[in-house]
Structure 1
């Protein structure tokens, strides 16, 4: 009997495997390793990962008609103690039950009803900026998207409590950084990062409990909090499931959209011709200074900018899956429990599918596009695609349009842009912007 064919393994260092190269240049290393084949085997202390960079194979994994793949153990560990009962890391019938319970809050018709609130919260945020003021762009976008999320999906007033969510998000992101001190220590050895995480999550849980107490006594609507509480009242969800799904929405829903807006502005400021075209497009199609669902359809240039920013700088830069049984994938035999990396960063910059892939070219989104579907998947894909995908796109379009119509942001970065390889594509340098109202 012939030996099973194993994927190629790029050069590595004894004992450390591929750790050193990843720590020095995580995203450059992923791109170099992907050049070795559509599936490559990577070795790190205590674990083996398989990097998959072929769109057809990624589609097979994410759509998984034979139940050969599931979410990775690494993902479950990352969100342990904060989203254990959320749709983000549950599987099987429980995942389907949670997804079904949340669905009414994320239909296109329901999401369109949030448009006015998204625009209003953006205007309120803009009005806090003074002419000539230099703002921390990423933080301001985080505050904006958090207020949009609280207003529309949660139906709560978050003013004064923003840092509860922001601090918990930062603690989760820091704990998930594979380069941090303590990642290789046994779980029973607490590190300062672990202790901070437990402290911030406990504070966030208490805040969400207070919000739920208020919402349970008040009127209900179509927002996610109402939908979850209605499901609880019908004995379809436990209160733990309600709480953890709200926590998941707060953490992921605000962080990823904020990054998308941050990178949109970073790119626009570096491409004044594209920026000027957006202003002209806005002035032509947006009436009364308030973009709507209807006017968004005429803002094709703005939609292209958002799509291109999500390509170059995908807030979710990697998706993890794990085999449930031995499988043959791309001609290679992978064992049960094999952890798979499906890196948006690599596929979005692969010159097999993109002309001049590192260049910012919003025009590439015009007309027909002849490329595989999973050469671009900023919101993952398959049945477990991001449930907030349509919400996030509407939010990015309307928030960016509102800002383009009301302010000019002159963005600056003191050092070359670099990123932390953690849960989301976070900048490791401060991105600031000087504000001028139009």
Structure 2
């Protein structure tokens, strides 16, 4: 177990990593956020970061993360960085709103994510994946990350929105790329005033306009058809009841399309990569997949039999969380880990170092899905890939179900031999996308 320093009294200041003049700790963060977070987390469960113009704290103690997200959640709100990142694309979405509007949006979205809804989506997830994989020929060399993105966009649109998006995936993917590029800590123009136009900003506005028009067309079409129980229907029913504006309907569909495909596609890419490195686990998953493929029962009933598959998903999300972390801002003075933080303090709660902390995980950097078979007394928030508390990811059950069913469905048809072009590094942005090219050779 690694000891961490803590405050002896509430007047003490948290440790601060060494930085460089003018940029403080910002330069190291932009160069390699994963490496920086791992190093800084060893200084303590609360670390003050020297970020010019910001009162920023790194919080990596599970009990303190739970305090921020759950116990004292009313003393925190979403951070300015989160609002700025999604400004112009999700201003009226559940991801960026607070207070009464957030509560109203969350309530309106909830019927699309119930247990019964998940059961309805399961068969469509499987069938959409089967159809997609049939296009892969034996011996094909595929861009693994791109294929997983196109697949997750298609699965999400079909299952959650009841929309056939095939042939139009690029509209969503281009907007997601522009959003990630705008939030990239290394991008040129990052430090320029907002009113200075940059190529990144112009691309962002263009792709957002295209995505908004695409979603508006979907909603116009759906308003003239019989409603179901999918997300589009649920939101349009809420609009008809006077609970949501059309802007709120549109931007929440946009939010689901973006977040609902990007994180699962990153997770799937890592799953195939680690399975290629661990053929014993891949063989176990293939056995589970074949059993499911030969069954005529509903896919939702088969999830319980995909035990090792679900453990592989959980372990991959532990080692390679798709997002950089959760951010919050204190709305009043708070005390965390014995340190007094002022109102306005921004807190970064990163999954990567917490999920790999040897205080809570045996052999923390090893890929070991069997660890999820064993009962432990580790703190709940030593693992939080979908955030937590009232503002947890509303689509977390959809994502976990999708990952397990997609993996099993693909493994029932093909094997993927994966190759990575260079060391594994990540885009320094809101999504920890893999930077090197990752290819796979298909064997049917």
Q: TM over 0.5, yes or no?
A: yes
- Residue 44 of structure 1 pairs with residue 70 of structure 2: no
Q: CA deviation at 1:235?
A: 0.6
Q: CA deviation at 1:420?
A: 1.1
Q: What is the alpha-carbon distance in structure 1 between the residues aligned to residue 32 and residue 95 of structure 2?
A: 28
Pick one of 391, 396, 402 that aligns with 1:389: 396
Q: What is the alpha-carbon distance in structure 1 between the residues aligned to residue 193 and residue 28 of structure 2?
A: 23
- Residue 264 of structure 1 pairs with residue 282 of structure 2: no
- Residue 235 of structure 1 pairs with residue 242 of structure 2: yes
- Residue 168 of structure 1 pairs with residue 175 of structure 2: yes
Corresponding residue for 1:122? 129
Pick one of 362, 369, 375 that aligns with 2:376: 369
2:272–2:416 contact (8 Å) kept in structure 1: yes
SS in structure 2 of the partner of residue 297 of structure 1 = helix
Q: What is the alpha-carbon distance in structure 2 between the residues aligned to residue 300 and residue 406 of structure 1?
A: 19
Deviations 1:59-110 (A, max 9, x none): 0100144621011010000000000000001001110000000000000111
Corresponding residue for 2:4? none
- Residue 204 of structure 1 pairs with residue 211 of structure 2: yes
Q: What is the alpha-carbon distance in structure 2 between the residues aligned to residue 86 and residue 24 of structure 1?
A: 31
TM-score by length of 2: 0.96
SS in structure 1 of the partner of residue 412 of structure 2 = helix
Q: What is the alpha-carbon distance in structure 2 between the residues aligned to residue 65 and residue 9 of structure 1?
A: 24
SS in structure 1 of the partner of residue 285 of structure 2 = helix
2:419–2:440 contact (8 Å) kept in structure 1: yes
1:14-413 aligned at under 5 Å gives the runs 14-65=21-72, 67-288=74-295, 292-413=299-420
SS in structure 1 of the partner of residue 347 of structure 2 = strand
Q: What is the alpha-carbon distance in structure 2 between the residues aligned to residue 387 and residue 409 of structure 1?
A: 31
Q: What is the alpha-carbon distance in structure 1 between the residues aligned to residue 417 and residue 410 of structure 2?
A: 13
Q: What is the alpha-carbon distance in structure 2 between the residues aligned to residue 3 and residue 349 of structure 1?
A: 28
Aligned length: 436
- Residue 10 of structure 1 pairs with residue 49 of structure 2: no
Q: What is the alpha-carbon distance in structure 1 between the residues aligned to residue 27 and residue 401 of structure 2?
A: 40
TM-score by length of 1: 0.97
Q: What is the alpha-carbon distance in structure 1 between the residues aligned to residue 109 and residue 29 of structure 2?
A: 37
Q: CA deviation at 1:10?
A: 1.2
Q: CA deviation at 1:24?
A: 2.9
Q: What is the alpha-carbon distance in structure 1 between the residues aligned to residue 288 and residue 263 of structure 2?
A: 26
